[in-house]
Amino acid sequence: MDLDKLQTTLEELGQPAYRFKQIKLAMYQDLKEGFDSIENIPLTLRQDLDRLLSFNELILKTEQKSLDGSGKNLFFTHDDLAIESVLIKHGDGSRTVCVSTEAGCQIDCSFCATGHLGFKRVLSPSEIAEQVLSFSRELKAKGEKVTNVVFMGMGEPFLNYDNIKKAILLLNDKDGFNLGQRRISVSTSGIVPGIERFGAEDWQINLAISLHAPDNALRSRLMPINKTYPLEKLMPALDAYVAKNNRRLMIEYLLLGGINDSPRQADALADLIHAYGEILRLSVVNLIIYNPTKDSDGHWDRFRSPSLAALRAFEEILTKREIAWTRRASFGSDISGACGQLAGEVNSTH
């Protein structure tokens, strides 16, 4: 629901100011699914609001479940654009929702299915937040709840900065979803002005950078955004972010077999990190295994996953060079819900 429209509508209906908070709490904490189920406001008001406003900005089209317990939801916006979100169920009981910030994407990374879609438009704060609410309602029925939110779905968050900021504040708001700031993470492909703006915020939201290559030539081939913000601009911005905020930086590195997974490139990655003292002090490399994706014509992309030997050799070099690293567990690949696979696939209109 567009909360600005809600507030304006309530004022036009002559309702007392506290009605706004009542409805906001009902939606974001009680996880109500429509005006008719908000029993602590008058029936006549429920009927008026139902006539004047859309309770949900997104229409849930399909739900898919993975063998590993994760799930993927396909939504339509009111202007008929498809977006996807993923729920990841971890073994420790935590539940992470991966949200999209754009319909399509402006970055066009060569290994990412979303990039093949082209760009349609940015999503509004309510369209972003409602992806979380959809999974939250599902989990509530099972006695569970969303514990983490990551802005790592379709789109580049920092090319929709104002709206992702509003969505973050709404998710963190004690009168909204009330999720702790440290449980929210934003991933960028390297939009330097966005990184600088993010670092200047008075909050404790986590930052992740999609690096994927240790040199400009390869990174520009994989990620065209590197031509605008090459490593000599990107890395100092990240170093300054860590120095100012004293928060751990997540360096995401997607391993592509035969392309960026050699021992030489592992050493180059270590050299790059060692060149920036703050990044070296407070960062972790998150190694991601490539998940197969299809191009816009339905053909499988040319990339492949690294061999087990290459993966282990890469990890051993990082360890030897005293680089902190983790390996990301892959969830939802059987439903095209893993990293890089979100493409808003539909077989018919709604």
Domain holding 183: CATH number? 3.20.20.70
**130 flagged as catalytic:** no
- Determine, yes or no, domain membership for 187: yes
In this structure, are 12 and 145 located in the same domain? no
Q: How high is the pLDDT of residue 335? A: 44
In this structure, are 236 and 301 located in the same domain? yes
Catalytically annotated residue among 252, 278, 315, 339? 339
**339 flagged as catalytic:** yes
- Determine, yes or no, domain membership for 347: no
In this structure, are 129 and 48 located in the same domain? no
In this structure, are 43 and 123 located in the same domain? no
In this structure, are 13 and 133 located in the same domain? no
Q: What is the dihedral sign for C-alpha 164, 169, 97, 28?
A: negative
Q: How many domains does the chain have?
A: 2
Q: How high is the pLDDT of residue 156? A: 97
Distance CA 314, CA 316 (A): 5
What are the pLDDT digits (tens) for 97-110? Answer: 999 999 999 998 88
In this structure, are 225 and 107 located in the same domain? yes
pLDDT in tens, the chain (350 residues): 999 999 999 999 999 999 999 999 999 999 999 999 999 999 999 999 999 999 999 999 999 988 888 899 999 999 999 999 999 998 898 999 999 999 999 998 888 877 677 889 999 999 999 999 999 999 999 999 999 999 999 999 999 999 999 999 999 999 999 999 999 999 999 999 999 999 999 999 999 999 999 999 999 999 999 999 999 999 999 999 999 999 999 999 999 999 999 999 999 999 999 999 999 999 999 999 997 765 555 555 678 899 999 999 999 999 999 999 999 775 445 544 445 444 445 433 33
Q: How high is the pLDDT of residue 74? A: 95
User: Are 253 and 209 within 8 A, CB to CB?
Assistant: no
In this structure, are 177 and 50 located in the same domain? no
- Determine, yes or no, domain membership for 285: yes
- Determine, yes or no, domain membership for 342: no
Q: What is the dihedral sign for C-alpha 32, 37, 40, 44?
A: positive
- Supply 188's token pair: 């960028």
155 is in an annotated binding site: yes
In this structure, are 210 and 322 located in the same domain? yes
- Determine, yes or no, domain membership for 108: yes
In 3D, which of 236, 246, 34, 14 has the Cα closest to residue 137?
34
- Determine, yes or no, domain membership for 341: no
78 is in an annotated binding site: no
112 is in an annotated binding site: yes
In this structure, are 235 and 317 located in the same domain? yes
In this structure, are 204 and 98 located in the same domain? yes
269 is in an annotated binding site: no
Q: What are phi and psi of 120, to 5 degrees?
A: -105, -60
109 is in an annotated binding site: yes
- Determine, yes or no, domain membership for 233: yes
Provide the CATH number for the domain around residue 47.
1.10.150.530
Q: Which domain holds residue 126?
A: 73-335
In this structure, are 140 and 28 located in the same domain? no
Q: How high is the pLDDT of residue 297? A: 55
Write down the pTM of the prediction.
0.90
In this structure, are 29 and 121 located in the same domain? no
Catalytically annotated residue among 39, 63, 84, 98? 84
- Determine, yes or no, domain membership for 63: no
